[in-house]
């Protein structure tokens, strides 16, 4: 599932500049942790964003990076569902209120 940056900001309860910084980090991880479909034009994979948001500090540290679990789309979706950010029945994201 993909969303634009302003929707990502609303869903995760962060500011637009934060989203832009995270997208730069995700771009750096393409080819290492994420595939080329993490970002499509101006859209960001919500699952990839959630994973990067969760592990970004570990990924920046070369020693901690070694213990970061591999990216799992299913695990990211579960995280989104558990935190009420995604409703699987209707496949829509829920903005943070």
Instruction: Quote the pLDDT of residue 79.
Output: 85
Tell me: the pLDDT tens digits for 44-93?
999 999 999 999 999 999 999 999 999 999 999 888 888 877 765 445 55
pLDDT at 50: 94
Distance, in Å, from the CA atom of 68 to the CA atom of 89, rounded to the nearest integer, reads: 30
What does the pLDDT read at residue 90? 40
Q: Is the pLDDT of residue 15 over 90?
A: yes
DSSP H helical ranges for 1-97: 5-12, 16-29, 46-60, 73-82
Kindly report the backbone phi and psi dihedral angles of residue 61, in degrees, each rounded to the nearest multiple of 5, phi listed first.
-90, 120
**Residue 75: Cβ-neighbour burial (10 angstroms; 0-12, 13-18, 19+):** middle
């Amino acid at each position: 599932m993909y969303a634009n940056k302003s929707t990502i900001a609303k869903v995760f309860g962060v500011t637009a500049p934060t989203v832009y910084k995270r997208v730069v980090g995700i771009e750096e991880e393409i080819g290492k942790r994420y595939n080329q479909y993490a970002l499509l034009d101006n859209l960001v994979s919500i699952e990839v964003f959630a994973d990067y948001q969760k592990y970004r500090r570990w990924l920046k540290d070369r020693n901690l990076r070694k213990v970061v679990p591999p990216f799992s789309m299913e695990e990211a979706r579960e995280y989104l569902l558990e935190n009420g950010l995604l409703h699987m029945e209707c496949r829509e994201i829920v903005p943070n209120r």
